[in-house]
Structure formats: structure tokens, C-alpha cells
Structure 1
Amino acid sequence: MNHQQTEEGLIGISVRDTVVRMTETITSGQGRQIVKVVRGSVRYPMELTSLEKSDFAKVLSDDINRLYEMAGMRTTRAAISLDSDMVLIKKIPLDANLEGEELREHIHWEVSQYVINPIDHFNIGYQTLNVGTNSEYERAMVLVLIRKQVVESIKELFAGTSMQLRAIDVDIFSAQRVIETTYNFEAEKKVALVDIRKKNVQLSILYNDYYLSQEVGYPIDEDGTFSTENGEHLARIISKELRRVILDNKLGKSIEDMHEILLYGDAVDDVVIETLSSAHAINIRKVNPFEKITIIATPEEQEVTDHPEAYVTSVGVAIKGL
């Protein structure tokens, strides 16, 4: 690999609990390719409570940079995807005539309805959506708020590595990006995405410019825990909550009104898929983020081959902007 290629690359980083995954991508004459995919561990989870630790940035910087160097990565540009728990995401209706200064004032007013702290404590991102002529409004907006303290901590983290921070993403957007790139669903198809985590399930819907995301906590057992290893129980939770999301948001009358259900994350297993498939007459499968984007070399991590769905977020942020 020459330096011209590495300058066109990006490393996507995701940290969930204490597991860090990194995907190195490049763009060349052969298109977009994945150079390396690696997995490691960090001593602190990437969550808001960890930011209170005085050595948070130093510890994660050391852990992430060690993995970067051990993997022999050469691309220096990097982007990191944050857990949705670390940001505030809201979808709001938007008057079609709002533009310029009026739009900015409206955004600030909307933000003030959701946060207690002063608005200048947050970085605000937004994307306008077309919601169709059946709506009272012709447009909607997805607002993303991230505390400036979080951004500064991430910048401090990367300052101690051999990489340059180029972007901060959010896990749900990273996942949707790679899924749209991989499967090219028609815009009118309703596709349910299920991110199965150790602490909860995140449901989202791909459908035109429609945006929906909802987290569902697990019921706690008598011993105060919930095991995602009980695949049948987990599948029943997903079915119940997905059906409720579909009905509450008028997306259909049943799960069968979805075109497909795609599962990804750290706790997907065959029992979950088999149980869901036996209960619902639609296609249900794991996401494989490597289906369309070629991995140049055979991955050293067996998990990449056995559980590609665990790398959806790191691949999704790695292709951001490429």
C-alpha cells in the first residue's frame, strides 16, 4: 500500500462497553476497500459516566493507540461513532417555509424545550427530511445534540494517538449508512433494524426519509440481571416491541408489513433469528457489512468471519465521507 492510498483512507472506530473495534478503509482505482479489521479492549467504557474520570482521555488514548499500532494500520485519519446514549436525538415537524435565520431561531427554540442546561453547552447538528404530502408539514428535522464536554474529551483522546480525528458519528447513523450502502433497498420499502446489545435493544426503521429510533430496556430477572443468551426470550421481546413501534407510528398493522428485519450488534445469535423467523413470515437475517465492501486481506480476528454483524458500526463510520 502506498502513501497516496492511505491519505484517501479513514479508520472507523466504535467502542461498546469495553470492546473497541476498528475498520481501516481506503478508496483507490478499485473503489472502496477495507484494509484491516481489528478488535481490542479498553479499560473504560465510552459512556458519559466515564468522562468524570480524570484519566479518561489518557487511558482510552493509550488503549486505542496500542491497538492501532499493533494492527499495523497506516491511515492516520479517523472517525469515531458514539453510542446513542451519549447524545440526544429528536425528530420534529418543520414548516416548509422556514429558511435561513428563521430556521436557526426555530432550531434553538426546539432545543430549549428538551435541555435544562444552556444551549451553548451543546453542539447541534440537524438534517431536514421530506415527509410527504400526507403530513401536515412538508418537512421534518432530525436534531442531534452532543455536549461540548463530550466533544472536547474525544478531541483530547485523539490528541494522544497517532491518528487525526476527522468526524464524530452516532452508532445508529453509522449502522443505517452501511446497511443502505450494502443492500440498496427501494425507498418505499420499510425495513426494521434491530441492534441487539448487552444492555438493551435499539429499534430503527429505514423508510424513505422517515426517521425513528427507540431503545428498549431488558426486563430484569430475580437476580437483578438479564441474559441475552436466552435467545427465545430475547426474540419475544423484539417481536413485542417492534409490533408496538409499528402500530404506534402507523407504519402498518403487523410485523409482516415490514419488508425485512435486519439484526446486528454484539448479542445476535441463531436462536434469535430462528425464533423470529418461525413467528413472522418475512425475511429476517444478520447484517453483513462486508458483503459489498471487499476486505483486502484475510482478517486475523475470527469474530470478523463468525460475527460480521458486530462490526456494522465501525464499518459504517469508516465509510463516512468516503
Structure 2
Amino acid sequence: MSFFKNHVGFNITGAKLQLVEVDYKESDTSAEPAGFYLENVDEEFFTEFWDSSFTETKIINILQNAFNEITLRKPLQTNFISFSLPNNFFKIFQLPVEAKITDSDLRDHLKWEVSVLYPDYDPESFIIRYIENYNGEDKKVKQAVVLAALKKYLKIVHKFSVRNNLILKYADNAHVATDTFLLNKSAVSILMDEKTFSVSVLKNKNLQFFKTYEINSVTEVPVILNEEINLFPVIKSGIDNNQIYMSGDFVSESLLNKLGEVTGYKFLLLNPFEKFKISSSLKTSDFISNKSHTFSSAAGMALRLI
């Protein structure tokens, strides 16, 4: 009996809804070898670019229209879903905390930090998640990467799920979801979007560093990244085999070449599908053969039930 049932990972960007559906097939119930199979990989652009000023009703309708188009092409085989959300749905920061602080005291402290850093927001409008790690030799102090998600967006994906008789299992940051495929490595990864990019550093399965950057043009990325690598030793020390992984939209061959030229490192497109088996209906999919790096967040969420 399979321990894993179909699960769909959705990723929301400012422009589109992406979907990756995964199933585990047993060798004794299928002519195909046992393993994790990609059952569906698809995306649909929104009718208009997502804007934070939109009402809840308008956002749900935009999501619904995109979802309808995807499922008309191929209906879901499950009602279990998870969502990854873009960086601009979060307030993200990093700070040192005492190693012996209790979870309760840390949560209170982080709520206070949010109120100071973002005075225009009510701290109660966030769900605050933090990822702790020790970064350095001082074991009395640990680092906390804080991801404060705006509740209104979490409520929207929940209402969307209920409307479509779907069971929402998880919601997470898009870059954290992408890093699912790098947990067994020490690695630096970059997630690109149209107006932002983010950098994360993983060591021994721990998130050591996470930072987001707003940009007006993709031409700013090589300069900013080179400055940050030189400014933060944790980034430079996290680069393994002189390689940095890239994923998300707006990653072109010319950008990869320019990044390598400016920083001296090799930039690789992250392929979240390389260890999956491909269902026969997807063998010729351009999303898998040429655009796999753009689906890393959705694929990471699809694996959350493992």
C-alpha cells in the first residue's frame, strides 16, 4: 500500500498560478517502476498582474479563473493541496537571539520586533514563523530567520481552497519551498521574481541566512549580489564547489553569464524534477524539459506530505 497519496503544490507569483501534482506509484500496482511520478505540471497567467490593493473578492476571482483554466486542461487527481507564496506576502528579517530564550518569550519578542520594524502594520495581522540556527562559534547566541506572513493572504488561499472543495495542508514562503531540493547540501540559492530576488544559505539542513532585495531592473542583480557576497561572510562560506543555484522566473542565459562574469562563481539552474519519474502524458512537456527551474517552489510544496 502506498504511503503517499497524490498531492498538489501551487505557487503564486505576481503574474500567474503554477501547479505541480505528484503521486507515488507502487511497482506491484503499475507496469511502471515504483517511485514518485509527476502527474501534472502546468501554469496559467492571471487576467491582470496581482496588486496588493486588490480586494479579497477580486484576488480570489483572479485565482479562480487561473485555476479553472488549468483544471479544464487536466482535472486534479486529489483534493490535498499546499501553497507557496511570494516574498512580498511576507515581512522577512534576521536577528540574533539568546540561545536559552524560551519559545514563548521568543514569540513575544518577535512580535515586538515586527511592531518596531513595521509600525504601519498591526502585529496581530501577521502569523510569525521563525527558523533558528547557530551561526558561528558563540553557542550562547543563535540566529533566527523570521518570516511574518500577512494573515489576509493566508485567509485568501484558505477560502479559495474551501470554495473548490480542496484540503489545504500547508502554506509557506516560495524560496523556503524551493530549498526543499537543496536540504542535503551546503548551498547558496537565489529565487528570482520580476521585482525582487532573494538569497538563502543552507548548511547542514539549516537555514543560515535569508534576505530579499527589491529591484527595478534585472540589470541590478549582478551588482547587488556581488556586493552582498563580499559584505556577508556567511554567503561566501556557504558557496559549495564554486556553484550558486538559481530558480524562478526571469532567469535567462544572459543573466547567468553576467552573474558569473561579475562574481566569479558558476550559476546553475535548479532542476526540481531531476529525481522524479515522469508520467507518460508529460514526456513532451516544455515545462519539464526547458522551464523546470520556474516550478521549483510548486514542486517543493508538492513534496510536503512526505
Q: Which residue of 2 aligns with 1:38?
A: 42
Shift of 1:39: 1.8
Which 10-residue stretch deviates more, 254-263 or 26-35?
254-263
What CA distance in whole angstroms lies between the structure 2 residues aligned with 1:36 and 1:6? 20
**Structure 2 residue 83 is matched with structure 1 residue 80:** yes
Distance across 1 between alignment mates of 2:288 and 2:19: 11
CA positional deviation for 1:56: 2.4
Residue matched to 1:138: 141
Partner of 2:31: none
Contact 2:92 2:212 in 1 (8 A): no
TM-score by length of 2: 0.84
| Structure 1 residues 248-300: Cα deviation after superposition (integer angstroms, max 9, x where no partner) | 22347799887311122212222223344455554322111111222223426
Kept after mapping to 2: 8 A contact 1:247/1:254 = no
**Residue among 11, 16, 20 paired with 2:17:** 20
- Match in the other structure for 2:297: 313
Percent identical among aligned pairs is: 17
- CA distance in structure 2 between the aligned counterparts of 1:49 and 1:179, rounded to whole angstroms: 35
Spell out, residue by residue over 1:3-25, the C-alpha distance to the aligned partner (whole angstroms, 9 max, x if none): x8697221011122332210001
SS at match of 2:275: coil
Q: TM-score, normalised by structure 1?
A: 0.80
Q: Deviations over 1:213-272 (max 9, x none)?
A: 2214034xxxxxxxx5xxxxx3xx333211211222234779988731112221222222
Match of 1:223 in 2: none
Match of 1:172 among 168, 172, 175: 175
Give me the whole-angstrom Cα distance separating, in 1, the residues matched to 2:264 and 2:14.
Answer: 34
The 3-state SS of whatever aligns with 1:245 is: helix
CA distance in 1: counterparts of 2:276 and 2:153, whole angstroms? 31
Contact residue 87 and residue 212 of structure 2 kept, 8 A: no
Which segment drifts farther, 249-258 or 141-150? 249-258
Q: Which one of 146, 149, 161 corresponds to residue 158 of structure 1?
A: 161
Distance in structure 2 (CA, Å) of the matches to 1:61 and 1:5: 31
Q: Report how far residue 203 of structure 1 moved.
A: 2.9
Number of aligned residues: 295
Q: Alignment partner of 1:49: what SS?
A: coil
Gap runs ≥5 in structure 2: 27-33
2:224 corresponds to: 241
Cα contact 2:17–2:66 (8 A) shared by 1:
no
Partner Cα distance (2:6, 2:124) in 1: 33
Give the whole-Å Cα distance in 2 for the aligned partners of 1:286 and 1:19. 20
CA contact (8 A) 2:25 2:36 kept: yes
For the residue of structure 2 that corresponds to 1:211, the secondary structure is strand
Inter-CA distance 274–298: structure 2 relative to 1 (3 Å threshold): farther
After TM superposition, the structure 1 stretch with the greater mean CA deviation from structure 2, 308-317 or 142-151, is 142-151
CA RMSD of superposed structures (Å)? 2.9
Among candidates 94, 103, 106, match of residue 109 of structure 2: 106
Q: Is the 8 A contact 2:20 2:38 kept in 1?
A: yes
User: Corresponding residue for 2:30?
Assistant: none
Residues 266-285 of structure 1: matches in 2 within 5 Å? 266-278=249-261, 281-285=264-268
Tell me the secondary structure at the aligned position of residue 157 of structure 1. Answer: helix
- Report the Cα distance in structure 1 between the residues aligned to 2:291 and 2:104, rounded to whole angstroms: 47
